[in-house]
Amino acid sequence: MNLSKTVKSFFVVILLSIFLSLSFGNFANAEVKAKTEPNSVYLFTSLTCPHCKDAEKFLDSYKKESNPDLQIHNYNFAENSELINEYYQAYFVPANKQGLVPAIFVGNEYFVGFSDSIEESILSHFPGYIKQEENDEKSLKIPIFGKIDPTNFSLPILAITLGIVDGFNVCSLGALMVILGLVIFLGSRKRVFFIGGIFIATTAVVYGTLIFLWHQFFSFIAPYMRSMEMFIGILALAGGVYLLKEFYQACKHGPVCSSNNLISRLTPKIENVLRNKTSLVVILGAVIIFSAIVTIIEFPCSAFLPVLFTGILVETNTSFGMSLFYMFIYMLFYLLDEIIIFFIAFFTLKIKIVSPKFIIFFNLLAALIFIFLGVYYLFI
């Protein structure tokens, strides 16, 4: 009896194995073809996609000039939906990148879209390829610092730098000071912690969401743009010119928040809510609304910084997970000055803020960073 059950179990396992092999045979086939052929590239393109033509031209040129044995498997995306889905599964392509062209599968990597920044990564998978030494061409000589290669510039450092510069925002700091000033007047350390913390948390959520949406927008349009680098360069130069104008105005009149009238109109309403013995739910709602409105309204004032940063993340073909990590770093250092002011207010019941000259200096620093990045992306 036990032997009979064992035999039955054996046949069930065999049948399941056959079923699974038939069900996932195409998946395995796609993985083997893409990941085991050492001198092949699998390309899914569309007739209406300009970047697809760039990818085809690049690979054909490399095959003709350097690697005649290269096997280029070019498939029409619309006519091979089942096959591309197999590659999506084999390479664990995230849903937000599926459906975009060109889709390039080589070795153990995939690329969605095409730009100069991924050419080196594609070629590195082909046997016998020797990396081109272009560091000297791309390096810049800067006094004191010496040679700097922007192509190797650390994204975490960029996130920290732009986050800190963006953090010295007159509007957001001004709104935080209004909230903390009203709470400190009431003399309650608990309320400082509760209300100030809610304000900063709301700012983080709203501002972080806006940055994430810009990243998704760039991820969507990148495959359809002729040159993401040129777009970023133009954006950076435009931002540099705008920030230089802001620096000039700040030098003449001091740092001024363009949303100052809005904050002035909202302040008495917030003051009434905090002064009256209203419930914590009402206070929570009022502070969240106040923080969200200020963050959304003031976003255009400093939008060049987070927009440029998310554009660079997309242009460098940074993975979705790492992009979220770098955006988190950006947000952490964006909020750093507000967090410091908040804790000073909590422990001392006093408000300490940097001098206006310091904020003006950061406007100039941001302008110089933008101009540097713009010149690099456009002319180097």
Question: β-strands 140-142, 146-148: how paired?
Answer: antiparallel
Question: Residue 44 in 3-state DSSP?
Answer: strand
**Where is pLDDT greater, at 177 or 17?**
177
Which CATH number is 24-123's, of 3.40.640.10, 3.40.30.10, 3.40.190.290, 3.40.605.10? Answer: 3.40.30.10
Contacts 24+ apart (CB under 8 A), 90-93: 90/27, 90/30, 90/31, 90/34, 90/35, 91/34
Element (H, E) at 106: strand 103-106
Summarised one tens digit per residue, pLDDT across range 172-222 is 666 677 767 766 766 677 878 888 888 889 989 999 999 999 889 888 887
142 pairs with which residues across the strands? 146
Q: Calculate ∠ Cα 116-120-123, nearest 5°.
A: 120
Residue 376 CA: distances (Å) to CA of 19, 198, 264, 309 = 56, 40, 41, 15
Other Cβ atoms within 10 Å of 280 Cβ, number: 10
Residue 331 pLDDT? 92
Strand partners, 71: 40
- The domain limits of the chain are 24-123, 141-379
Distance CA 59, CA 52 (A): 11
Q: What is the pLDDT of residues 291-331, one digit of tens each?
A: 888 778 777 666 778 888 898 888 777 778 888 999 999 99
Which residues is 105 bridged to in the sheet? 42, 110
pLDDT at 34 over 70: no
Angle at 253 between CA 247 and CA 256, to 5 degrees: 75
Q: Does 138 have pLDDT greater than 70? A: no
Tell me the whole-structure pTM to 2 decimals.
0.58
